[in-house]
Amino acid sequence: MRSTWVVFGYALCESLRRRVFHAGLVLTVVFLSLYGLGCSFVNVSQVYIGPASRVVKVDVYAAATVLGLAVFATYFFGVSLAIFLTISAVRGDAEQGVLQSLIVRPLTRWQFLLGRLLAAVAVAVFYVAIVFAAALAITQVTLGWTPRHALAAGLEIGAAIAVVAVVSMLSSVYLSGVANGIGVFMLFGAGLFGGLLGQIGGVVNSHKLEQTATIVRYVTPFEWLYQSSLGRLIEGENGVTEMVIRLGPFGGSVQGGTVVWLWSAVYVLAMGGATVLAFARRDL
């Protein structure tokens, strides 16, 4: 495993020194600043509206809605970072001549892959954790609301990012950098689209649409984890307030439970195994 950690250290340094990472940090600071500014503009003059039986907690609705948007942005940034850190891991680096001198050293190819993957996941998940925590803190300070299950939601977003990194690593064996980036982003888009279909299916009560959304969830478990994390964020809210919240960015939320974690683990193991096999057979 020593070789894996050497590659991990090398890939970690590479990730942190990449321009895309620095540009991402600057954009993140801009995003969080704008998010803080936006939250401070939200003016909740009434905490409750409606009759007693159908009360809407306006403060919760407003805070949850803006946080939901921030969580989507965090998820998108995290996915982008995970893709950028892994798109050229194999074929892209081999085409540029970076990989060969490393692979001829006495380490197995799976050790190399594992080191690179762990570094990409570490950087992307750490980044997501920081941005998510910052968004929660801003929401608490400006709007006085924090979801009850924020930690569980954060873990699921982090896991979603890790799954994306694994998928991107696998396709990097076959596709060169740009093609891989486009491909994984398309898969990410397909996941989002599946989520929308499920949301529409729920509203119009279409079994077929909901079934399609379920299949998409299994194909793109990162999206399922994201939808589950949204579900965690509004867990505990009920009645009309929950219904109103679901009209916004939480429309696609689901209760993933243990199944999403188990399926994600199986998916990652299968994808990881396929990556190792594909890389072992690849001529460099």
Which residues make up the interface to another protein (CB under 8 A)? 2-3, 6-7, 10, 13-14, 17, 96-98, 100-108, 281, 283-284
Kindly state the smallest distance separating residue 168's Cβ from another protein, in Å.
Answer: 19
Kindly state the smallest distance separating residue 149's Cβ from another protein, in Å.
Answer: 40
For residue 152, the SS3 value is helix
Nearest CA-CA partner of 165 in 215, 128, 207, 202: 128
Nearer to another protein, 130 or 284 (CB): 284
Nearer to another protein, 40 or 96 (CB): 96
Q: Which residues of 224-249 are buried (b: 16+ CB within 10 A; e: fewer)?
A: bbbbbbbbbbbbebeebbbebbbeeb
Kindly state the smallest distance separating residue 279's Cβ from another protein, in Å.
Answer: 12
Nearer to another protein, 196 or 284 (CB): 284
Kindly state the smallest distance separating residue 282's Cβ from another protein, in Å.
Answer: 9
Dist. CA 219–CA 217, nearest whole Å = 5
Nearer to another protein, 152 or 278 (CB): 278
Kindly state the smallest distance separating residue 12's Cβ from another protein, in Å.
Answer: 12
How buried is residue 179: exposed, middle or buried, by Cβ count under 10 Å (0-12/13-18/19+)? middle
Neighbours of 65 (CB within 10 A): 17
For residue 98, the SS3 value is coil
Write phi, then psi, for 68 (nearest 5 degrees).
Answer: -60, -40
Kindly state the smallest distance separating residue 104's Cβ from another protein, in Å.
Answer: 5
Nearer to another protein, 111 or 241 (CB): 111
Torsion-angle region of 144 (φ positive above 0: left; ψ -120 to 50: alpha; else: beta) = left
Kindly state the smallest distance separating residue 29's Cβ from another protein, in Å.
Answer: 22
**Who contacts 233 (Cβ-Cβ below 8 Å, separation ≥6)?**
64, 67, 68, 71, 147, 149, 150, 153, 250, 253
Nearer to another protein, 51 or 106 (CB): 106
Nearer to another protein, 2 or 207 (CB): 2
**Is residue 56 within a helix (H) or strand (E), and if so which, with residue range?**
strand 56-57
